[in-house]
């Protein structure tokens, strides 16, 4: 097992994902990274990162959370490690050494993937499959922004996520439920769920599965001193 440089900070979207990572770390003895809840979405995240006093150069940030699958190869509950992030044709790579060390330390099955960052919720199965044909495996709303910011600051970044929805089915369109500050607005969220009850049931079930895996993989990574 390689000697790990410490992970200074875990960034994870606020709400259920943040809580899952905190639960995963709650039973861990010894030193653990600082866990920071970040806003959902590209613009809110960028504003947040510029306002906060973030890390010194040469430190390490692990970004965790859930993501959507754009490929039949990746199913709900699958653990994925990002190789890179694409946004509007631009590609940024995650730190190769950091990613390789994480990959070798996860005893569960974990896949190295190419990710797409979107500035809105990708909710329809048709669009997911279309985007998948263009070369991306998974989608989230923060990856590229975080990489661009931290690369400029010479901070090493790795991204570990868990798939919460597949590419065969629609999920509710939650775009209107995300506030401009990157928080979730409960009323539009509830309305979006009610408008598409089958899709909502699927999303809830998939999210609960993914959050449980996220909690477990967080605990596994840090409970045996591998990443301290």
pLDDT of 31 reads 81
Q: pLDDT 10s per residue in the chain (228 long)?
A: 333 557 889 999 999 999 999 999 998 887 889 999 999 999 999 999 999 877 777 789 999 999 999 999 999 999 999 999 999 999 999 999 999 999 998 877 899 999 999 999 999 999 999 999 999 999 999 999 999 999 999 999 999 999 999 999 999 998 888 888 888 888 888 898 889 999 999 999 999 999 999 999 999 998 865 554
**How many Cα atoms are found within 13 Å in the side-chain-facing hemisphere of 199?**
19
The continuous run of DSSP H or E covering 13 comes out as strand 9-13
Token duo for residue 28: 């861990």
Do residues 46 and 149 touch, judged by C-beta distance below 8 A? yes
Do residues 38 and 48 touch, judged by C-beta distance below 8 A? yes
Handedness of CA 3, 11, 37, 70 (dihedral sign): negative
As a whole number of Å, the end-to-end CA separation of the chain is 13
pLDDT of 112 reads 97
DSSP states along 30-58: S---EEEEE-SSHHHHHHHHHHS--PPTT
Distance of CA 35 to the CA centre of its chain: 14
The closest of 9, 14, 140 to 63, measured between CA atoms, is 9
pLDDT of 228 reads 46
pLDDT of 182 reads 84
DSSP state of 184: B
Do residues 163 and 138 touch, judged by C-beta distance below 8 A? yes
pLDDT of 224 reads 64
pLDDT of 16 reads 96
Token duo for residue 72: 């039949």
- Count other C-beta atoms under 10 Å from residue 6's C-beta: 10
DSSP state of 94: P
Question: Alpha-carbon distance 75 to 77, whole Å?
Answer: 6
């Amino acid at each position: 097992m390689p000697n790990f440089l410490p992970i200074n900070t875990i960034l994870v979207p606020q709400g259920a994902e943040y809580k899952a990572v905190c639960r995963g770390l709650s039973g861990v003895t010894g030193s653990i990274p600082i866990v920071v809840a970040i806003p959902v979405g590209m613009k809110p995240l960028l504003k947040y990162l510029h306002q906060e006093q973030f890390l010194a150069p040469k430190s390490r940030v692990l970004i965790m959370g859930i993501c959507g699958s754009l490929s039949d190869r990746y199913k709900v509950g699958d653990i994925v490690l990002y190789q890179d992030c694409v946004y509007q044709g631009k590609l940024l790579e995650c730190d190769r050494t950091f990613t390789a060390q994480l990959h070798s330390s996860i005893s569960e099955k974990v896949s190295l993937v190419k990710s797409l960052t979107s500035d809105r919720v990708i909710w329809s199965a048709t669009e997911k499959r279309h985007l998948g044909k263009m070369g991306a495996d998974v989608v989230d709303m923060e990856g590229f922004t975080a990489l661009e910011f931290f690369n400029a600051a010479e901070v090493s970044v790795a991204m570990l996520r868990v798939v919460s929805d597949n590419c065969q089915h629609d999920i509710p369109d939650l775009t209107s439920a995300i506030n401009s500050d990157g928080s979730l607005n409960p009323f539009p969220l509830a309305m979006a769920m009610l408008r598409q009850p089958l899709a909502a049931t699927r999303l809830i079930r998939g999210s609960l599965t993914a959050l449980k895996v996220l909690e477990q993989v967080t605990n596994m990574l840090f409970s045996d001193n591998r990443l301290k």
